[in-house]
Amino acid sequence: MTEDEGESKGGRGLPTRTDIDKAYQWRLEDMYASIEAWDTDAEAVLKDSQELSTLAGRLADGAENLLKALKLQDEIGKRLSMMFAFARMRRDEDNTNATYQALTDKAMSIAVRVEGAKAFLVPEILTIPESQLRTYLQTNSDLGLYEFVLDDLIRQKAHVLPAEQEALLAAAGEVTSAPSHIFTMFNNADLKFPMVIDDDGEEIELTHGRYIHLLESTNQNVRKGAFEAMYKTYGQNRNTLAAVYGSSVKKDIFYSGVRKYESARQAALDDDNVPVSVYDNLIDAVHESLPALHKYLRLRKRVLGLDELHMYDIYTPLVSEMKVKIPYSEALTTVGEAIAPLGEEYQRIARQGMQSGWIDVYETKGKTSGAYSWGAYGVHPYILLNYQDSLDNMFTLAHELGHAMHTYYSHANQPFVYSGYTIFVAEVASTCNEALLTDYLLKRTDDRQMRAYLLNHHLETIRGTLFRQTMFAEFEKLTHQHAEEGGALTPEWLSDTYYKLNEEFFGAECVVDREIAIEWARIPHFYTPFYVYKYATGISASTALSQKILHEGPDAASRYLDFLKSGGSDYPIELLRKAGVDMESPEPVRATLKQFSEMVDELASILEG
């Protein structure tokens, strides 16, 4: 599942699903025509899980047993992924529907039982001598399908524990996930914010959802009030939040130590076989290009007419929102034309999919908000939208269609075992589509206001995804290093470290308000260690690839489609290298930041020329 937002919401005046034409609803019956069909698969999954568990202790007896175990794992995975996708997406249609709440819970319960049944598999494979595994591969041609899987297990063998110890670590998972769970409950359920003044001069309660909207206000007093109220609230809870985050970091260090990694960062990156140098190159390249960010901040200060630019002035748009009404039918046409550089086949499949049950289009009562793309092997991908007739929503369509087409090509060209792709590459296809849409719209408008709006939109995407996420990534690197060296993650150390990073990124052109020092305390992604850097590398890779597609034509597009078709059949760094971008080099990041700098210049010429 690739999810870009998502909490359930309903509302007065919203239509129900029965009010929406079927043409604008996804066709989940393409997965299961009935709950009875779902139950049949559930029975098959449990039966196959029992059969798999009978192979425990027998994998070294011969290639046939190993092949049978791996095939059973695939069959279970195919069915279970479709079961879970169907249940969750049915629930997402209307989160108040008790039937699909229960079906989702049932799917999760079955998944837990499956994990228990196959827990023996990896540790037992790794007890088989490598020479014996190689002999299996040579003598059993059917086992050749799993050669990359087995090679990857062998690569990580030094970090896998004996079966009993792996079982113990798995059993501790509920305990070690406590910091993340505590933060989520505290942040979303218990934390209460004060009243602030909105654009209409009315008192409203500050919430997470309202915060960014208030920071986008054209009234600086509104922005300042929301900013100070938000961080005062976190500051009042700094000791608790430092203890929770510190516990999360210690958990990361514990697991990396137990698995014999040099650091928590190395352990996190090793899942994708990504060298630590990629992480460091990203940070170094962004620091080299901070002058481009500072140039953008100077433009922001001039356009907003401010004597001083503060941290709460960074989000308000430089160009007022274009009141352009873009009906869904027009968005389909425009996006369909914008992706033409990817070739006729890509364009044909995407257009057909957009009009044949892939997409759930409109907001309805109880429907999950935001947007995501999801798919299950053996059926076409799906997209959840809550489409409003706006330019931003057209970009969301392009973004999610990129995810869906990646899934489509991956599933169509790979066996199940290699049909999934890692988070490291997941955002490449989506942001590549956005880049193509931006290029298409810029080439077809002479309206200076529209051009400025599009440039501002793209600049904010890069600022938020490449600069901001890299600053987060550097903070994670520093916190884990400090703890690994025996340092205490006190609220003072965390806040001072975070404040210094903000000074380095923004201080040349911005008043770095002291309140920003506590921002670390409100970032949920920090509880998934060393994750955010993938947003920055993803947009860098997609920018490089989209430029090749636009300037080199069909050959570059063909390499890109081969990348989409590759799924998880190789390591992400290698897949991107074959597509034409080397993420072990800092050059893709530098090229994206060079484009950022050039767009700042163009936006300045429009707004100030």
Q: Which of 93, 124, 363, 400 is catalytic?
A: 400
Per-residue pLDDT reduced to its tens digit, 347-363: 999 999 999 999 999 99
Kindly state the average pLDDT of the residues 531-556.
Answer: 95
Q: Mean of the per-residue pLDDT values for the chain? A: 93
Q: Give dist(CA 24, CA 551) in Å, integer.
A: 35
Neighbouring residues of 116: CB distance < 8 A, sequence distance ≥ 6: none
pLDDT score, position 8: 37
Per-residue pLDDT reduced to its tens digit, 34-76: 999 999 999 999 999 999 999 999 999 999 999 999 999 999 9
Place of tokens 């990534």: 473
The greatest distance separating any two alpha carbons of the chain, rounded to the nearest whole angstrom, comes to: 77
Half-sphere exposure of 590 (CA within 13 A, CB side): 9
Per-residue pLDDT reduced to its tens digit, 466-498: 999 999 999 999 999 999 999 999 999 999 999
pLDDT score, position 407: 98
Q: Are strands 359-360 and 382-384 parallel, antiparallel or unpaired?
A: parallel
Q: Backbone phi, then psi, for 289, in 5-degree steps?
A: -100, 15
Q: Give dist(CA 406, CA 2) in Å, integer.
A: 11
Kindly state the average pLDDT of the residues 587-598.
Answer: 96
Per-residue pLDDT reduced to its tens digit, 257-292: 999 999 999 999 999 999 999 999 999 999 999 999
- Express as a percent the part of the chain with pLDDT over 70: 97
- C-alpha distances (whole Å) from 243 to each of 187, 233, 237, 473, 494 are 14, 16, 10, 20, 11
Q: Is 530 left (phi over 0), alpha (psi -120 to 50) or beta?
A: left
Per-residue pLDDT reduced to its tens digit, 525-534: 999 999 999 9
* HEC string for 378-408: CCCCEEECCCCCCHHHHHHHHHHHHHHHHHH
pLDDT band of 3, cuts 50, 70, 90 = very low
Domains detected in the chain: 26-160 (1.20.140.70)
3-state secondary structure of 373: strand
- C-alpha distances (whole Å) from 283 to each of 296, 367, 466, 478 are 19, 39, 10, 12
Q: Give dist(CA 53, CA 261) in Å, integer.
A: 30
pLDDT band of 163, cuts 50, 70, 90 = confident
Please say whether the beta carbons of 435 and 543 come within 8 A: yes
pLDDT band of 185, cuts 50, 70, 90 = confident
Is position 400 annotated as part of the catalytic site? yes
Judge whether residue 6 has pLDDT over 70: no
Please say whether the beta carbons of 437 and 402 come within 8 A: no
- Nearest residue to 371 (alpha-carbon basis) of 384, 359, 381, 358: 384
Q: Give the pair of three-digit tokens for residue 268.
A: 């996190």
Please say whether the beta carbons of 351 and 336 come within 8 A: yes
Please count the helices (runs of H) and the strands (runs of E) in the chain: 26, 6
Strand extents, DSSP E, 2-102: 2-3
Helix (H) or strand (E) holding 204: strand 203-205
**DSSP string of 268-333?**
HHHTTT--HHHHHHHHHHHHHTHHHHHHHHHHHHHHHT-SS-BGGGSSS-SSPPP-----HHHHHH
pLDDT score, position 172: 84
Please say whether the beta carbons of 573 and 583 come within 8 A: yes
Q: Give the pair of three-digit tokens for residue 506.
A: 């923004």
The secondary structure of residue 197, as a DSSP letter, is E
Judge whether residue 7 has pLDDT over 90: no
Judge whether residue 226 has pLDDT over 90: yes
pLDDT score, position 322: 67
Neighbouring residues of 411: CB distance < 8 A, sequence distance ≥ 6: 375, 377, 378, 381, 419, 567
